[in-house]
Structure 1
Amino acid sequence: MASGAAGEAGRQLWAALNHLVRGRPEEGSSAVATGEAELVSLSRAPDDEERARALSAILLRRAEQDAVFQAGLAQWQQQARTLGTGPGETHNTISGGTQRSPVLQGRDFSGITFNGPVERPTE
């Protein structure tokens, strides 16, 4: 999300995550780390997957210890799923003929491989 934050939806999500992380821990919460340092680190290198994983791990631990934060994080995640993290919309259409290979419909794919045998049409 950090590297895809170029669009307006991405900026809104990033701002909402900043607000959530910088919020006060729940009274009586044993959460020691807030994730603020990891958030700042990721903002400096948004394509760094290691920094993203570090932030994710801290946020999960904080959510386990802070019910208010957990509710806020769940709400943020729902917002992220609804808004997406990149510009534009996707419209998928398949028409005509028979598809003899895997067909993938969606948006923002990466790291996908198909290792099955290639089907050749019979004549």
Structure 2
Amino acid sequence: MVLLAALAGGAGGEAGKQAWSGLSALVRRPLHRADGVPAVSSGEAELAALEEAPGPERANALSTALAVRATLDAPFRTGLQQWHDQARVVRTGDGEVTSTISGGTFHAPVVQGRDFSGVSFATAPPPPSSAPTDDTAAPRT
């Protein structure tokens, strides 16, 4: 649901646009369902509403329509799963990290980011300070 709202709002840059376009094409495919199954939304109306005004309620409505359609339409379910696997890699801002460094003196690299794995850093020890500290200051007379 968060992914749908974020993509509808334009998150993810070019990759987000492509993901949204892929979902739109998928939703517009003809509905395949067995006889005797009640009519369900294809998801087109919910998709258009979310595109017009992104928000959590409309994203939830689209998510529900997609889930119901996927339950009744096996080819759609397969396509939706493939779309979701590809769209998951789009960065949408959820889980955003904010880092702030202030004050003090730093003698090592600082790395700021998100979703690091398998990373290690080796840094040299800090250089000796040229300013005297309280312990080494000349005695007062």
TM-score range, shorter chain: 0.5 to 0.7
Q: What TM-score, normalized by structure 2, do the two folds share?
A: 0.56
Point out where structure 2 has 5 or more consecutive residues left out of the alignment: 1-6, 94-106, 108-112, 117-141
Give the match's secondary structure for 2:8: coil
Q: CA RMSD in A?
A: 2.7
Of the three residues 64, 67, 81, the one matched with 1:60 is 67
Pick the structure with greater CA Rg: 2
Following TM superposition, the consecutive aligned residue runs of length 4 or more in structure 1 with deviations greater than 6 angstroms are none
Deviations 1:17-60 (A, max 9, x none): 000000001153635210100000000112x1000000000100
Equivalent-residue separation in structure 2 for 1:36 and 1:85 (angstroms): 24
1:8 aligns with 2:17: no
Q: How does 1:20-31 map to 2 (within 5 A)?
A: 20-28=26-34, 30=37
Give the match's secondary structure for 1:106: coil
Equivalent-residue separation in structure 1 for 2:21 and 2:87 (angstroms): 12
1:75 aligns with 2:82: yes
Q: What TM-score, normalized by structure 1, do the two folds share?
A: 0.64
Equivalent-residue separation in structure 1 for 2:16 and 2:114 (angstroms): 22
Equivalent-residue separation in structure 2 for 1:15 and 1:26 (angstroms): 21
1:44 paired residue number: 52
How many residue pairs get aligned? The number is 91
Q: Which amino acid aligns with 1:19?
A: A
Point out where structure 1 has 5 or more consecutive residues left out of the alignment: 88-95, 97-103, 108-123
Percent identical residues: 47
